[in-house]
Amino acid sequence: MSNRKVVITQQFFDEESVAYLKANGCDVTVAKLPGGKPDGSLSHDELVGLLSGAHGWIVGHAPVTRELLAALPDLTVISRRGVGYDRVDVDAARDLGRVVAIAVGGNEAAVADLAIGLMLGVGRRVGESQEAMKAGKWSILMGTDLTRKTVGLVGLGRIGRQVVQRLKAFDARILISAPRPDEEYAQTMGLTYVPLETLFAESDYISLHAPLTSETRFLVSDKTIPLMKSDAIIINTARGGLVEDAHLLAALREKRLGGAGLDVFVSEADSSYKPVTEELIRLPNVAATPHAAASTREALALTNMIASQSVVAVFDGSSPQANRIVVDGRPDGGDPGSRR
């Protein structure tokens, strides 16, 4: 029992998942974060204080750095309630013998639902219309359809494929740009793989579903926005940093783009962009949510349980599901590498 102390710093962790951990011999602490702030805003010292002596950590958006891992020698497994791990130093985890897991299979449907919702919300000018109505102006603002439009998806992973399923109901022409084309899937679903430049040029809606890497950082910027239609709508439910938000802001103000639906922002990782985010969300042709795409009751309950199962698997001396392992630094664990 003594080597099964689990600290949860993620918000909205349900009782069923806590009960699962306790039923498997875990001593569980759900951290009460100051002011209800997310764990991504905690300092190194605050995290060390919360996690001292912990063997398992269920984490949200806190940075998992080499310095932090070195300060927590008892920590065996870091389990993310989510699928991104760009804030995790995977090399450090490997070097220091830790296991890092992600919650694959828990929130893809919720994120795909919001991506479609943002397309519809921006295209039909829902927020703008409501603000006008609040001001007593009931005149109709002309929107644009999603039905039979060209939609370009950058990336075709688990979430991208869920978006494809939903778009089929809109009879959309779907263009894909992805590093490893799946021609059989494309033929079955009626998709067309195209170079990124073609996707940008021909799409009415551009939805981003790629990981944030050195190659994809600022994928949408002053270098690529000129390729797009002047009424194109950008959707980003993937990662802040795929879009250069300052360039997007300028393009929207100057009517070089039609609108944007944004769930993620550069300012989440770079506070110098906070004024840009504040200006973006004030624009009438922007629909914004606070990195909430995966945050539905159903999705959170499922990802909480998946994260908990990964912790218990490591404590039991086995491994989480293969596609949920980011890195396994245990001497006999091997290294399946990145399986996003």
CA distance 292 to 117: 13
CA distance 199 to 155: 12
Catalogue the active-site residues.
Answer: 239, 268, 291
How many residues in the chain?
340
CA distance 251 to 2: 56
Do 66 and 120 form a contact (C-beta atoms < 8 A)?
no
CA distance 4 to 175: 47
CA distance 53 to 238: 33
Tokens describing residue 240: 């802040």
CA distance 251 to 237: 19
Tokens describing residue 180: 């490893």
3-state secondary structure of 28: strand
Do 235 and 242 form a contact (C-beta atoms < 8 A)?
no
**DSSP characters over 149-205:** -EEEEE--SHHHHHHHHHHHTTT-EEEEE-SS--HHHHHHHT-EE--HHHHHHH-SE
Complete edge-to-edge strand list for the sheet that includes strand 99-101: 27-30, 5-8, 56-59, 77-80, 99-101, 325-328
What is the identity of the amino acid at 169?
A: A
Do 61 and 87 form a contact (C-beta atoms < 8 A)?
yes
